Structure 1
């Protein structure tokens, strides 16, 4: 089953990359003008049928909204406590302490001016960190970033983000030592669609995405492997959608049909030929959100997986999460 971050993630579907479970985001919190209108204390409990773990999380507002304390821990069916973590978030400092590892991760930032920000991320146990200098050029659409290891163990990294894409200068280990490599993502609107080129080292992925009110077509090719794929999406009406993906090199394909009568309920049915598994899933509460927006702040996820080669070994998985705000 998929793992979760600070909010519940959907049950896994074939070829969907999982997220982390029970972890607390260590990045500094974003404190907006409406911060004081948020709940002062939040508790959530979640049960995952695959891991059979009960995941508990809490957060409390401190200092009249200037920061918050948050934590998480897991319990198995025998009541054994696992993975206790405790964190503190403020606008410029975040600290996460892991009791099992006896380690603390921290992020500290400082605004040097309206255009420059300094950020330090560190691992107390490993005695390592990363220092970043971030600047916004002209307006928020342009950003440049330079990163250094503390203490220095490799070459500095740099990136520039602009409306048409992003260019990164990263270091890679080679036989003769460290050397720079360029990663670039460029995109441009063309003929009612979007052309993009993603270059990483010696690999280049070219993609074109055409989209109108009812249909989306996305052919893509990877060079030099010449791996060609084609994605097709059809929107029959606001309630029903179909997506299809075909890989010409491996002849593998996958299809997903989605029925969404409202924002709080959704059903999906799909098949992936690469792993030869059919599946069906249902969500009460938004798939991509946590329990906050679910009816009664209770999010329920149910999934059925049926291997094509052994139908009798089907699996029924579920996850339920309840949140309380005070």
Structure 2
């Protein structure tokens, strides 16, 4: 320890060292980033101009889209900058801050998905009580609860991380500051930090996945009793799309963060991380929102109003 120098910055290797492939990744990632922003911004703003979308379901979807936008901004712009300039260094405070917001916002995503699943369960399985159960105050408390629970879960790990010493090396085989590769670079015993991080990940992932599975299980059971085959087909189409995103998001996150003996820094881990930090973020606004007939109609009406006003 006396002969070691404290690390002041880390080197993020990214996904590839091939310059030509980096250009391709940059262009694809930039297009994906713009699509994510566009989809989420539409969902956040369209209920403000259409009273038909001012319901509990769209309240949750608006908050979810805002959360997804924040989550995407934490990861993708920094990676795009690295691909464009070739600069892979990131300061230690920035790296730790990125890690904190990644897990804080990431945990919030899972809690929001669970809350939206519960909302759909009440709407489909208890239609007569939906208005009384999902009151405005209840919806607000549920959303605030998601943010608070995420913050409280991530806080202990963050405190432990801030006090970890890093004495070199400082190379991270990843495209953002993830916990596992960072822990490998610390020059002290990280057993307690690893255990706390594992418990935190298990609590946030498994608890929210349980709520989601139970909610959709009840929804599917109710849908099966719909007499109309067309109604069942439409309901199953929506549920299957939602469940596909949930399964991709949860399976990749569970594989990445709570599988036994995982260390991080492997190419396979980078691919899995890219799946849930980029791919699912692209799918979410379009599957949860823009496939919805009410949202489509609201967008059409807004475009028609804009066209008529421009003509006048």
Q: TM-score range by the shorter chain?
A: under 0.3
**TM-score normalised to the size of structure 2?**
0.24
**TM-score normalised to the size of structure 1?**
0.23
> Which has the bigger relative contact order, CA under 8 A and spacing at least 6?
2
Q: Between Structure 1 and Structure 2, which shows a larger proportion of strand residues?
A: 1
